[in-house]
Amino acid sequence: MKSIYYLLTCVLILSVSCKSQSYEKTASGIKTTIDSTVVEVRFYTPGIVRIIKSLPGETVEKKSLSVVKEAETVPLNVTESDSTISLLSDVLTVKVNTRTGAVSYLSANGDALLTEKAGSTAFTRFNDAGNETYSVKQSFTLDPNEAIYGLGILQNGKMSQRNQKVHMVQNNTCDFSTFFQSVKGYGLFWDNYSPTDFTDNEAGTEFASEVGDCIDYYFMYGKNADGVVAEMRDLTGKVPMFPLWTYGFWQSRERYKTQDETVGVVEKYRELGVPLDGIIQDWQYWGDNYHWNGMSFLNPGFPEPQKFVDDVHNLNAHLIISIWASFGPETPQYKELKEKNMLMDFQTWPQSGKDIWPPDMNYPSGVQVYDAFNPEARDIYWEYLDKGLFSLGIDGWWMDSTEPDHLDFKPKDFDNKTYLGSFRKVRNAFPLETVGGVYDHQRQVSSDKRVFILTRSGFAGQQRYGCNVWSGDLGSSWDSFRSQIPAGLNFTLTGNPNFNSDIGGFFAGAYNKSWSDGTAAKNPLFQELYVRWLQYGVFTPMMRSHGTDMKREIYYFGKQGEPVYDAIANAINLRYSLLPYIYTTSWDVASNNSSFMRALVMDFPADKKVWDMNSEYMFGQSLLVAPVMNAQYTPEKIVKVDEASGWNKGNAKTKEGFPAVDFTEVKSSPVYLPEGTAWYDFWTNEKFDGGQEIAKETTINTTPVYVKAGAILPIGPKVQYATEKKWDNLEIRIYEGADGEFTLYEDENDNYNYEKGVYSTITFKWNDADKTLTIGRRNGEFPGMLTERTFNIVLASKDKTKGNEIVSQPDKAVTYSGDEVVVKL
């Protein structure tokens, strides 16, 4: 009997021992094998967990291109039941089903967040340019009514990205990040750079990538949208600050053909008194296509490069210049990279050596894209950029075609070898690497000038590289325009806060078929679209006018006193008046992981009416922007117009032959005001309750903008460029109805001293019950800081408005020297 008891005891001990060894504890989680799949769970923080799945016997050594964070030491409680291994941190529970291998995620209080679909993990053998590897996919189960956001810059017009299939290969007008976040407060980053399909339908939500040695993804629980953005930036990199001047107005064109023409544009803006901070020099300053991207001024129209840069600077403006990820065969860069086997062989722009359209392929250009994944190639790229352009004092880089352009695609093109394997394997991370190469090198050689890069493509993690991504060469149409709000908001929700678009759309040829270039900007169909796009551009991180087919400078649209000209000038001036607010928001983005363009769901998640709203957003924490996104005065459809007849033969016409339009006629645009707060009309100070749709009266000179109750809004001086005047006489507007707080940020406006704490902040607090404003003690200091100034305090009210302007009637003028001041209003 004793022997039987002993035997049973041994079996029980052996059973318990076997169960305890069904997984292996690691430094940051566990590793186990389930159903012929190795599953590893690694906690990076209490709210961020990495899942790696591979096949037994495979060696997986992957260094992420996007992720820069090292795993922290996270206290975990690991338990096992009959069919589940559970890992609990302070904020997140991860459960691994030991029968199916499916991983599920719950909040600390047990709320279900996301679950892998059982049996959906898939490895399919794939030959990648001679390397035996796998195609990989994983599906998840979402709640039926769960809204998700992200995936990058898409031109589908959608806010929530449910119920669609997206083929992710970087291209001109779509920038893909394999990341989405949910209204439930979690995010998922699929860490793969090969061509990937995202599919969401009744069967599940799936990522499927063409190449992957393993399945590798990160789940993060931030509890809300800002929290998820913060965790994505913690994982893939923080956002550095841009200089103050980058937030002014930028004028560009495809293209200015001489240095005198470029400088002349800045001179004309100064003559007209219209603010301008930046001018952009587009391509062909290097000469012909065989010298493509030579990073030197070989074009006879630019005979004195240093004088060119100096002339722009002497007008208190800044210059950025076009550079590409490819080189023509007559450039020294091409020859050096070719010798070292650091070029890729596929068709890219431009295809012909002749600067004509369509390209004449009897004269192939020979332009090739360089291997941006190779650190030595990135060194070579910067060496020539530094010597040829940065040494002249050029202020920033317009990195065009960073997808890169891939024309006449053939599957074998993906077999091109890169430093990290086939081009197929790393395709979507090309913009991350090429932009990162320029940022890292400039940071190494200079701390006096902040890196500023305007680029056409982006990927997860690129926010750490001082770049603003624009949405590509869009056609000029109302549909394209309407797509920009959800495109920018979804990009922001991937963790990338810096977005802009070509104001007016790039290809405007449909508006320019019947008139010479000098009068095309007076076409009322284009005028209405351009003005509305410009007004939207006021409330994006970069306000930049650019396009081809017609000139976009303000003086081509008319003259002062005419409705369209005045609407353009007023929009630009509005941008400059908001610079203290915008620059403070930039600091908030860099230091507190905030966002410029904020989908309404970020601030009003309880209001389900905003979950899928694609026509309004918050700009910073205080301003709700509802741009006029539909034509009110002209047909949206581009119709054939000739100078003799206008749209219809019966229409009245201007002297240029265009139909006459009264842009001062009052129209109406619908605006939804989210619930949970009261709102003030920015222009009239009229107050509205949230949770309702209202009709805003508009003319061509009106952008519907509303201010949240409790907001404290600084208004800057009237200037011609961002740093023309100090902020020693700011207007501080108080919007009653709730307590509020605003911290004004100031620094030297450029350089990286702010990273060392060389800046100051002043916090304003509004107590709505007591009607008191407390201006807190100034924290910090920097060279050139104002030690004494005046704040003009204004309580928003209807009697302080006249038309579309706030009448300067401060309730109190407060002298401030850095000590706390309490103002009773």
Query: From start to end of 203-304, where are the E strands?
Result: 204-209, 215-221, 249-251, 278-281
Which of 176, 168, 182, 169 shows the shortest CA–CA distance to 219?
182
Distance of CA 596 to the CA centre of its chain: 9
Q: Please pick, among 40, 210, 400, 603, the residue that the annotation labels catalytic.
A: 400
Judge contact between 213 and 421, C-beta under 8 A.
Answer: no
Residue 71 in tokens: 């795993």
The alpha helices in 658-755, defined as continuous H runs, are: none
Local structure of residue 420 (DSSP, 8 states)? T
Helix axes 430-445, 375-388, angle to 10 degrees: 50
Q: Please pick, among 277, 473, 616, 747, the residue that the annotation labels catalytic.
A: 473
CA dihedral 354→356→360→366, nearest 10 degrees, is: 40
Please give the Cα distance from 625 to 609 (Å, whole number).
16
3-state secondary structure of 259: helix
Please give the Cα distance from 761 to 747 (Å, whole number).
9
Whether cis (ω within 30° of 0) applies to the bond prior to 300 is no
Say whether 736 is catalytic: no
Judge contact between 66 and 429, C-beta under 8 A.
Answer: yes
Q: Across-strand partners of 697?
A: 668
Separation in Å, CA 711 to CA 48, 449, 495, 535, 583: 33, 33, 25, 22, 16
Say whether 603 is catalytic: no
Residue 382 in tokens: 């910067």
Q: Please pick, among 175, 403, 566, 603, the residue that the annotation labels catalytic.
A: 403
Say whether 400 is catalytic: yes
Nearest-5° Cα angle at 632, 629 to 638 = 80
Whole-number CA gyration radius for the chain: 28
Q: How many CA atoms lie within 13 A of 660 on its CB side?
A: 7
* DSSP string computed for 593-613: ---SEE-HHHH-TT-GGGTT-
Which of 501, 489, 512 shows the shortest CA–CA distance to 542?
501
Q: Phi and psi at residue 630, in whole multiples of 5°?
A: -130, 145
Provide the 10 A C-beta neighbour count for residue 752. 17
Judge contact between 175 and 166, C-beta under 8 A.
Answer: no
Which of 135, 142, 118, 115 shows the shortest CA–CA distance to 199?
142
- The helix (run of H) or strand (run of E) holding residue 577 is helix 563-577
Q: Phi and psi at residue 713, in whole multiples of 5°?
A: -120, 115
Please give the Cα distance from 750 to 759 (Å, whole number).
11
Provide the 10 A C-beta neighbour count for residue 705. 22
Please give the Cα distance from 31 to 35 (Å, whole number).
13
Q: Phi and psi at residue 333, in whole multiples of 5°?
A: -60, -45
Residues annotated as catalytic are 400, 403, 473
